[in-house]
Amino acid sequence: MASTYLTKTGSTGDSRRIFTHSVWVKRCTVSKTDADMIINSAIDESNQYYFELEGNSVGDDNDIRIRQLSSGSVNTLIKTSASFRDVSAWYHIVVAVDTTQATASNRIKLYVNGSQITSFDSSTYPSQNTDMEINTTSYTNYIGTRNTTGSHYFDGSMAHVHFIDGTAYDATAFGEFDANGIWTPNASPSVTYGTNGFFLDMASSGDMGNDVSGNNNDFTVNGTVTQALDTPSNVFCTMNPLIPQNPSSSWTFSNGNTTTTSVNTVSIALSTLGFSKGKWYWEIKVGAEVPAGLMAGIAKEGININSAYLGEDAYGYGYFVTGNKYNNGNQGAYGDAMTNGDIISVAYDADNGTIWFARNGTWQNSATQTEIENGTTTNSAFSGLDTTTTYFCSMGNGGSTYTNYTNFGNGYFGTTAVASGNADSAGLGIFEYTVPSGYYSLCTKNLAEFG
């Protein structure tokens, strides 16, 4: 959400003592010095309630925090012992508040992915029958930022944002475990929302603050919210900012970790999702800089990302900006040189260990889409790859500074939507160019079915 957030002016509700938050979130970074604010209700800095995911500043370690200040004094502080650092998955977080309870630990209950959290570094509960700093007039409700400070923006994605006014529900009201033991959302929970309750399902790209609870408690969007195909039910691949880099500034990641910017150092960036079987397709758009060191391709599990360019050793296979291909320190003529604005398509057949590249819709080395669909390896970039190991989508830097944009099916290059609307063979994803028949976007639904 970057510097985008949602707001709604407060009004008198059913209860300031009993309520529930339920929200699905996917983080983009865990290295922020401030927090990822999820929900905030405030009249000023001295009177506010919020729950957030902390960053990585001193004393914080990506924990979940529920905090309240009244007249400048902290009377509630719930801070988890566990850290929540996974940028490749969605978290479902439920906060159930009932300050009428006699037992302090029952006044705020916290659930993550269906399980109640019971281990806390801090557990200062509100006094019995405390009126919380929420659900009343004069207070503004914020989603994705911290009140008037213009900070603590949520860097990531949100879905299924619920507020229940007057009832404390547990996680089972909003989700369930599927046959594989995966916690999944309930898109139509049977709950009573109360006067100020709302449900933002984020289903309308033109009205992301629309309340579908029946209360019409709509929020105002501040900034630009981008609707993504990446949802709690189907997670799309991105680049992975958590892989240790040396130096630490080798790459920076933005736009949901689909935009990668490298600095003038030899290094490799990898994707969040890997694959050891199946047939996969994705696209990369070359940025505005002259990409003197750009390499696109795949990397085998175990590659040293900090001392080699992609293809310098046997673990990497790359298509270089010059048009050459690289593997195991060997380079050879392959295709066209890349230039700014080019879109590079990658098709990898993990079942047969073969990879192809296209530039602006033309498959290189005289390969044809029919050949790729039929598994003909004659004009591929590389064939005979090890089919017993896991590979990752990869970007390599040979020692220059540039930006590029990956599209694993979410339908954007950075913040720009693709011009076309081509789906994969399962009807998933949005791509610029036609996906070869039998090839799929890298997402959890396809990996479960074909990977």
CATH at 347: 2.60.120.920
Indicate whether 388 belongs to any domain.
Answer: yes
Residues 44-68 as b/e (b if ≥16 CB within 10 A, e otherwise) read: eeebbbbbbbbbeeeebbbbbbbbb
Q: Report the predicted TM-score, pTM, of the whole model to 2 decimal places.
A: 0.91
- Domain around 13: 5-222
* Judgement on whether residues 62 and 145 belong to the same structural domain of the protein: yes
Q: Which helix (H) or strand (E) holds 356?
A: strand 354-359
* Judgement on whether residues 216 and 314 belong to the same structural domain of the protein: no
* Judgement on whether residues 275 and 214 belong to the same structural domain of the protein: no
Indicate whether 232 belongs to any domain.
Answer: no
CA distance 243 to 330: 26
Q: With beta carbons less than 8 A apart as the criterion, state whether 111 and 93 touch.
A: yes
* Judgement on whether residues 175 and 279 belong to the same structural domain of the protein: no
Indicate whether 243 belongs to any domain.
Answer: no
Tokens of 218: 């709509």
CA distance 173 to 169: 6
Indicate whether 240 belongs to any domain.
Answer: no
Indicate whether 48 belongs to any domain.
Answer: yes
Which of 175, 207, 222 lies at the terminal end of a domain, its last residue? 222
Sequence letter at residue 39: I
* Judgement on whether residues 140 and 265 belong to the same structural domain of the protein: no
CA distance 330 to 228: 39
CA distance 56 to 61: 5
Question: How many other C-beta atoms lie within 10 A of the C-beta of residue 417?
Answer: 16
Which of 205, 222, 239 lies at the terminal end of a domain, its last residue? 222
Indicate whether 238 belongs to any domain.
Answer: no
Give me the phi and psi of 318, to 5 degrees please. -135, 150
Which of 206, 222, 238 lies at the terminal end of a domain, its last residue? 222
* Judgement on whether residues 255 and 203 belong to the same structural domain of the protein: no
**Sole residue written with tokens 């046959």:** 179
Indicate whether 242 belongs to any domain.
Answer: no
What does the pLDDT read at residue 1? 46
* Judgement on whether residues 276 and 346 belong to the same structural domain of the protein: yes
**Sole residue written with tokens 């199946």:** 278
Tell how strand 391-398 and strand 294-300 pair up: antiparallel
Indicate whether 245 belongs to any domain.
Answer: no
Tokens of 362: 């033309």
Q: Look at the chain and count its residues.
A: 451
* Judgement on whether residues 137 and 212 belong to the same structural domain of the protein: yes
State the alpha helices, DSSP H only, in 310-442.
369-374
Give me the phi and psi of 449, to 5 degrees please. -90, -40
pLDDT of the chain along its 451 residues, tens only? Answer: 457 899 999 899 899 999 999 999 999 888 777 889 999 999 988 999 999 998 876 556 889 999 999 999 999 999 999 999 999 999 999 999 999 999 999 999 999 999 999 999 999 999 999 999 999 998 999 999 987 666 788 989 999 999 999 999 999 999 999 888 889 999 899 999 999 999 999 988 889 999 999 999 999 999 888 888 899 999 999 999 888 776 666 888 888 899 988 877 778 899 999 999 999 999 999 987 766 677 899 999 888 887 678 888 899 999 999 999 999 999 999 999 999 999 999 999 999 999 999 999 999 999 999 999 999 999 999 999 999 999 999 988 777 778 899 999 999 999 899 999 999 999 999 999 999 999 999 999 999 999 7
Q: What are the residues whose beta carbons fall under 8 Å from the beta carbon of 79, sequence distance 6 or more? A: 54, 63, 64, 65, 66, 120, 121, 122, 123
Number of domains present in the structure of the chain: 2
* Judgement on whether residues 290 and 191 belong to the same structural domain of the protein: no
CATH code assigned at 154: 2.60.120.200
Question: How many other C-beta atoms lie within 10 A of the C-beta of residue 411?
Answer: 23
Angle at 57 between CA 53 and CA 61, to 5 degrees: 50
Sequence letter at residue 128: Q
* Judgement on whether residues 53 and 130 belong to the same structural domain of the protein: yes
* Judgement on whether residues 190 and 93 belong to the same structural domain of the protein: yes
* Judgement on whether residues 168 and 34 belong to the same structural domain of the protein: yes
